[in-house]
């Protein structure tokens, strides 16, 4: 290979950028030590801008199109290089391609909750997340303020800064809006646009960037507040709490009656629920004219755990099933002293309706007459 062929191999005759990435904002043409040939082709594709830099100074900017690099279309570079009468030899210059299309699907979120004062809940913490797009609008400002000598500048290199700006703007907008937390969902479009405009004011002139779109995807409340809201919603859906409790008691009585294996314990539970049901119904009735108001019927003591006093000693605890067996063996009589948690004190079994029912059920009726 001759000297001229070797020299031609070191000259760059086509300057272009074929972008296969989705988030590259700036890419520097890899010239290395090669020189750009006089008359070389410059290809700038749609969504790109080419910027020539000579010894650290911005020179010519090329919009999308195909160009032949000569003195007449490199006026700034010719001035910087001192080409008063044009040039016929190769030249050195850095060429940066700037992506002017929108970089999409960038995400933002609040790393820490934002404290706010809500008219319904008082001081609360809010979290939010969403997406945004980014676009380069001023290539020269972008190169000067952010890229520098970086050979490839990705959107990820500025996302931390942008997220901090979005979070700060989000806190300001939410605080200024004074919208109740329960009404924020209906304000997402309006709040998103306000946040976007605040961020654009900070990055437009300084960094040469634009944020064409910003969306709030969700604003969430703390888990404990969400559980309280769920409870409030459930109570509102139930309506009359007394009627709902009466319905539940009726369902429990039906389940106890349909359980043949419950034995004495199921019977005692049914009796207890029956007394509670009667008390609920009597509380809902109004006394007649001139009649004294009936005192509310207290809930019966817990059924199922009993203690027995025999000879001055306390035995137990016993379940209703145990007491039913004792009544069948005549070990539990009307004079047996019993006590259960919630009862005012010891009392004879003959004065406890649940136990009277057990003792009566254990006594067989008289035999039928002989024919």
Q: Give the pLDDT band of residue 314 (cuts 50, 70, 90).
A: confident
Q: 37 pLDDT exceeds 60?
A: yes
Q: What size, in residues, is the chain?
A: 371
Q: 262 pLDDT exceeds 70?
A: no
Select from 125, 145, 201 the least CA-distant residue to 169.
201
Q: 74 pLDDT exceeds 50?
A: yes
Residue 83 has a pLDDT of 65
Evaluate whether 100 touches 134 at the Cβ level (below 8 Å).
Answer: no
Q: Is the pTM of this model over 0.85?
A: no
DSSP letter (8 states) at residue 215: E
Which residues make beta-bridge pairs with 331? none
Handedness of CA 119, 123, 129, 134 (dihedral sign): positive
| Half-sphere exposure in the Cβ direction for 248 (13 Å, CA) | 9
Q: Phi and psi (nearest 5°) for 261?
A: -90, 5
What percent of the chain shows pLDDT beyond 90?
Answer: 24
Q: 183 pLDDT exceeds 50?
A: yes
Distance from chain centroid for Cα 27:
37
Q: Where are the domains of the chain?
A: 3-99, 103-224, 241-281+301-362
Residue with tokens 């309006």: 190
Angstrom distances, CA of residue 281 to CA of 62, 118, 236:
88, 41, 22
Q: 242 pLDDT exceeds 70?
A: no
Task: Give the 3-state DSSP-derived string for 295-362, with helices as H, strands as E and coil as C.
Answer: CCCCCCCCCCCEEEEECCEEEEEECHHHHHHHHHCCCCCCCCEEECCCCCCCEEHHHCHHHHHHHHHH
Please state the rounded mean pLDDT for residues 208-223: 91
Q: Which fold has domain 103-224?
A: Tetrahydropterin Synthase; Chain A (3.30.479)
Residue 203 has a pLDDT of 92
Angstrom distances, CA of residue 259 to CA of 8, 143, 161, 274, 280:
99, 81, 67, 16, 24
Evaluate whether 320 touches 267 at the Cβ level (below 8 Å).
Answer: yes
Question: Rounded to 5, what percent of the chain is helix, strand, coil?
Answer: 40, 25, 30
Q: Give the pLDDT band of residue 34 (cuts 50, 70, 90).
A: low
Distance between the two ends of the chain, CA-based, in angstroms?
139
Evaluate whether 308 touches 331 at the Cβ level (below 8 Å).
Answer: no
Residue 234 has a pLDDT of 67
Query: Alpha-carbon distance 246 to 221, whole Å?
Result: 35
Residue 218 has a pLDDT of 92
Between 311 and 337, residue with greater pLDDT: 337
């Amino acid at each position: 290979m001759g000297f001229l062929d070797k020299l031609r191999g070191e000259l760059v005759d086509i300057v272009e950028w074929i972008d296969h990435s989705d988030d590259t904002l700036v890419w520097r043409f890899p010239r290395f030590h090669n020189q750009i040939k006089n008359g070389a082709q410059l290809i700038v594709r749609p969504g790109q801008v080419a910027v020539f830099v000579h010894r650290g100074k911005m020179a010519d900017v090329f919009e999308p199109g195909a160009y032949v690099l000569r003195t007449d279309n490199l006026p700034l570079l010719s001035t910087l290089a001192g080409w008063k009468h044009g040039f016929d030899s190769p030249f050195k210059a850095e060429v940066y391609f700037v992506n002017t299309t929108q970089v999409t699907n960038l995400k933002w979120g609040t790393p820490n909750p934002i404290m706010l004062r809500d008219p319904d809940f008082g001081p609360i913490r809010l979290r939010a997340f969403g997406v945004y797009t980014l676009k380069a609008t001023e290539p020269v400002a972008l190169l000067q303020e952010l890229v520098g000598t970086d050979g490839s500048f990705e959107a990820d290199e500025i996302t931390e800064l942008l997220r901090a700006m979005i979070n700060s703007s989000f806190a300001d907008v939410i605080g200024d809006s004074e919208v109740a937390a329960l009404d924020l969902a209906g304000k997402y479009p309006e709040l998103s646009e306000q946040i976007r405009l605040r961020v654009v004011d900070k990055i437009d002139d300084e960094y040469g960037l634009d944020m064409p779109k910003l969306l709030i995807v969700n604003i969430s409340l703390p888990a404990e507040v969400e559980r309280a809201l769920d409870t409030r919603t459930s109570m509102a859906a139930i309506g009359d709490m007394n009627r709902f409790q009466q319905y539940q008691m009726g369902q429990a009585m039906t389940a106890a009656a349909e359980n043949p294996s419950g034995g004495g314990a199921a019977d005692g539970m049914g009796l207890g629920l029956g007394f509670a049901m009667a008390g609920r119904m009597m509380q809902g009735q109004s006394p007649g004219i001139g009649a004294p108001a009936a005192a509310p019927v207290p809930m019966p003591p817990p059924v199922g755990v009993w203690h027995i006093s025999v000879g001055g000693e306390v035995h137990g605890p016993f379940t209703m099933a145990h007491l039913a067996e004792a009544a069948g063996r005549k070990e539990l009589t009307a004079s047996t002293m019993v006590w259960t948690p919630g009862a005012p004190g010891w009392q004879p079994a003959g004065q406890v309706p649940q136990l009277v029912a057990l003792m009566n059920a254990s006594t067989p009726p008289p035999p039928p007459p002989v024919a």
